[in-house]
Amino acid sequence: MWRILHARLKQGHRTAAFPDVPPTLPERLRGHPVLDPARCKEGCRACSEACPTDAIRVGEKGVGIDLGLCLFCTDCAGACPEGAVRFTTEHRMAARRREDLVVRQGVLERVRALDEKMLRLFRRSLKLRQVSAGGCNGCEADVNVLGTVVFDLGRFGIQVVASPRHADGLLITGPVSENMKLALKKTYDAVPPPKIVIAVGACAISGGPYAGHEEVAGGASSVVPVDLFIPGCPPHPYTILDGLLSLLGRMGPERMVGEGPVMSQERGAQVGKARG
């Protein structure tokens, strides 16, 4: 017993200080892509031809990447001879509207919080029923990771429940196969209103690599209304958590740094020091 207590004391505080302190992410993380149209050569379509899901397209408005289709394989970046496409370690990519997931220049707009009425209901307590609608278990695994001591989703009042009748909304993963289409609709109908729906991963947003297949509905929004889209294949746990907290209006102060909005380092240092 004493050895267990000693080991626990030696380990210290394992729960991340996010969102008060920005997360430390590995350099190999494939996060928010950045486009530099000025480098594109006229007529060059190397990036779009390399994309396995047709997520990157070249048109009259220039080059655009649809994060709802993107698998973050970086084939486009590797194929571009001018280096006009690159992937950063920025984890914040969630969006309220499907069309907002198309990146052309800069970064995506920050997620708008729910309206005041919904925030009064869900800000401090949100129960979600997770539905795997034909997923490969990649997104499902990263959703499960949020329940570990590092992320501790429960400290934000967010819980995954066993029954849709006990839920405030759905968290959907997978491309919604034909066999899961009716089950998803029934699960949605069983959640008492008002309710929210969150689509996690490329498959749940658009069908991902299965988009267009006759056995796939083409994402959650083809069956139920979606309030939050979280891209990735699979999305990093911090990407999911950032999307959830932003939807609930619980993200801390931010300022513009470098390529996008970043949590105030000064504020993060103060909170981290206070937590010891």
For 246, list phi and psi in degrees, rounded to 5: -65, -40
CATH topology of domain 116-254: Rossmann fold (3.40.50)
Chain segment 70-110, per-residue pLDDT in tens: 999 999 999 999 889 999 999 999 999 999 999 987 777 88
Would you state the pLDDT for residue 38? 84
* 213 has pLDDT over 50: yes
Rounded CA separation 160/135 (Å):
17
Strand segments, DSSP code E, in the chain are 33-35, 56-59, 62-66, 85-87, 102-103, 126-132, 158-160, 169-173, 196-200, 228-230, 254-257, 260-263
Do residues 84 and 39 touch, judged by C-beta distance below 8 A? yes
Question: What average pLDDT does this structure show over 206-231?
Answer: 94
Q: Are 131 and 167 in contact (CB under 8 A)?
A: no
What pLDDT score does 268 carry?
A: 37
Chain segment 131-168, per-residue pLDDT in tens? 999 999 999 999 999 999 999 999 999 999 999 999 99
End-to-end CA gap in the chain: 26
Q: Which residues pair with 134 in a beta bridge?
A: none
In what order do the strands lie in the sheet containing 102-103? 56-59, 62-66, 102-103
Q: What is the pLDDT of residue 235?
A: 96
pLDDT of residue 263: 35
What's the predicted TM-score (pTM) here? 0.86
What mean pLDDT comes out for the span 111-118? 93
Largest CA-CA distance found in the chain, in angstroms, rounded: 70
Confidence of residue 42 (pLDDT cuts 50, 70, 90): confident
Domain positions in the chain:
116-254
pLDDT at 123: 92
Helices (H) and strands (E) in the chain, counts: 9, 12
Residue 252 confidence class, pLDDT cut points 50, 70, 90: low
Q: Tell me, what amino acid is at 253?
A: P
Whether residue 58 has pLDDT greater than 90: no
Q: Give the span between the Cα atoms of 51 and 53, in whole angstroms.
A: 6
CB count within 10 Å of CB 110 equals 16
Q: In this model, does residue 273 exceed pLDDT 60?
A: no
More reliable by pLDDT, 236 or 57:
236
Q: What percent of the chain has pLDDT over 90?
A: 71
> Helix 237-247 vs helix 138-145: angle between axes, to the nearest 10 degrees?
70
Query: CA-to-CA distance for 244 and 94, rounded, in angstroms?
Result: 9
| Chain mean pLDDT for the chain | 87
pLDDT band for position 18 (50/70/90)?
very high
Peptide bond just before 194 cis, omega within 30 deg: yes
